[in-house]
Amino acid sequence: MSKVAVVTGGSRGIGEGISLALKEMGMTVAANYGGNDTAAKAFTERTGIPAYKFDVGDHEAALEGCNRIAADLGPIDVVVNNAGITRDSVLHKMTWEDWNEVMRINLGGCFNMAKATFPGMRERKWGRIVNIGSVNGQAGQYGQVNYAAAKSGIHGFTKALAQEGAKFGVTVNAIAPGYIDTDMVAAVPEPVLQKIIAKIPVGRLGHADEIARGVAFFCSDDATFVTGSTLSINGGQHMY
């Protein structure tokens, strides 16, 4: 029986690439999405992967959404916490709502999805959780105290939960992407984007499938001895 995987924010951008990579591995994939019904419908028609709408930052909605997926497809074996938003602003102009919404979805979503699925993985003695962090959670970024804090929190969350899951066959790892050619990055003003690319040693933006291959490795049986790890895929933009 194939493993059941849930990818949050899984119908567009990096999430779509991850959903497709896991499907190619033979997994039964469900893509979560938050709001764009038209894009989600087009994604399902294009890929055959069902899309489930719920807000990962809402605890009860995440629990209910995972229960719905499990009822339809079977117990959830793999979770990829990819859903994320930006509300960029320098601190003295940032509102509480801008701070809270980014923390609620980007970091809170990881907790909510793990809370919904980790106990079952633990009982079945097998599971994979992959959290999508960011180069900006490692290095910081001007105008992103909310996003950088949330993504940095994801890396700490990963290491702590990995210690809880290790003896139960549940691995928890993270990927820290650099700048990837997604809609989120496309929204960056062109002059700013060119300055960003100039700081990437390989001289280009990354592609969603390059992140997806890292996720696929963490979710495979080749990675049974890898947990609590963060894989940086950033073209050399941040090295440490």
Catalytic residue annotation: 147
Report the 10 Å Cβ neighbour count for 177.
24
CA-based angle 61:64:69, to the nearest 5?
Answer: 120
| Rounded Cα gap, residues 52 and 15, in angstroms | 13
- Both tokens of 184, joined, read 């989120």
